[in-house]
Structure 1
Amino acid sequence: MRSHFNRWRRAVWQALAYRMVFGERDGPRGVRPHTRIAPSTCIQGAQGLRLADHVFIGQFNFLDAQGGLTLHEGVQITNFVSVLTHSSHRSVRLLGRHYVQHPQPLPGYVSAPVEIGAYSFIGPHSLIEPGARLGRGVVVCAYAQVRGEVPDFAIVAGQPARVVGDVRTRDAELLRQHPELAEHYRAWAGELPQGAP
């Protein structure tokens, strides 16, 4: 009897906690019918989140939107990713136990919005730091630590992340194999990559 109950409890938990459902609400801006956010993702300061449609946010992510977080159309955030728009670690070190009663602004406190461009992909276990601005079509490799500006179509890797490639190289190959997709690519990218049909 106990094992039947445990199987039932596990099935209910999986259905509630891990099921991806289409359709999210972006506050007063309306419904995003093709956007999916896993229920295990934590969004802190959701009022600061600007969410486009066709966004996918996987399991066990931490999205800090307090300082302003913009996710453009088609952004994919895999699993175990942290996107931060603020950091108090310096302030806490400087102020110690006086951190909670110190008047604003706090010395050393960092707060800056993050923007992730259209159809960018954020690999697992990555960290996007406050103030990062990723262009469109960016690929962030697993375990990358991203800060500052990332140009359109860049592939970035490492800690801190550095540009290691350009997604248009592979995109051109794929478009040669599937020329019927050129119109879809052009719709978000604006142009076809060099070498595409």
Structure 2
Amino acid sequence: MSSISLSLRLRAAVNRLRRRLWRALFFRTLFGEVQQGRALPLTRISPSACIEHEDRLVLEDDVFIGHLNFIEASSGIRIGRGTQVTNFISIVSHSTHRSVRVAARLSGVPEAAADGSLPSDIRAPIDIGAHCFIGPHSVIEAGTRLGKGCLVAAGSRVRGEFGDFAVLAGNPAQLVGDTRTQDARWLAEHPEYRAAYASWAGQLPTA
């Protein structure tokens, strides 16, 4: 006979039930979105993702936005087809880190514009290309542009413009590789995927 008390067993059962209910209601990610009259049947956005200015977030289909992400799209954000934004990621199209030091109420210059912005704010659109992968706990800053097929390593802080197939890592993120290098090794073992890969990525480098 187990020594675990009936009250502890009951408490555990209630806790499991609460976890399952919470997951079903708040963490289950479903296929299907409609955006600005466009059907995105393969796109999935977690209900735990916080999206501000969602009307300025432009998605292509088959985008995945995972749990507990913060997306601030006031200056415009575009995310390309097939891209995965994993978990615990911030994508922010504006920053007020300078404004907290030189804000109008401190400097005596005219107050903020009607939309609340200040001349000292940093505001710029973000463009993330097709089939990118953004690793957990990363930050994508205003003005960033990523080409197609990029990989952002977990914990990276990305600012700037990077071409197709860039592997980015670090704080600040630096170019550390080309995703096609690892893709080529995998495709050599799975040639049945080559045609589908080439249809969006083009041919692999010969060297």
TM-score, normalising length: structure 2: 0.86
Q: Give, in angstroms, the shift of residue 7 of structure 1.
A: 4.3
Whether the 8 Å CA contact 1:185–1:192 is kept in 2: the answer is: no
Residue identity (%): 49
Aligned residue in 1 for 2:202: 190
Q: 1:153 aligns with which of 147, 153, 165?
A: 165
Q: Residues 36-75 of structure 1 correspond to what in structure 2 (within 5 A)?
A: 36-75=44-83
1:126 aligns with 2:138: yes
Whether the 8 Å CA contact 2:104–2:111 is kept in 1: the answer is: no
Helix, strand or coil at the partner of 2:127: strand
Q: Give the length in aligned residue pairs.
A: 193
Q: Give, in angstroms, the shift of residue 5 of structure 1.
A: 5.2
Distance in 1 (alpha carbons) for counterparts of 2:52 and 2:206: 40
Which is greater in Rg?
Answer: 2
Runs of 4+ in 1 over 4 A off after TM superposition: 4-7, 96-99
Aligned residue in 1 for 2:18: 9
Q: 2:33 aligns with which of 24, 30, 50?
A: 24
1:138 aligns with 2:138: no
Aligned residue in 2 for 1:170: 182
Unaligned runs of 5+ in 1: none
Q: Which amino acid aligns with 1:130?
A: A
RMSD (CA atoms): 2.0
Whether the 8 Å CA contact 2:167–2:177 is kept in 1: the answer is: yes
Higher mean C-alpha displacement, 105-114 vs 36-45: 105-114
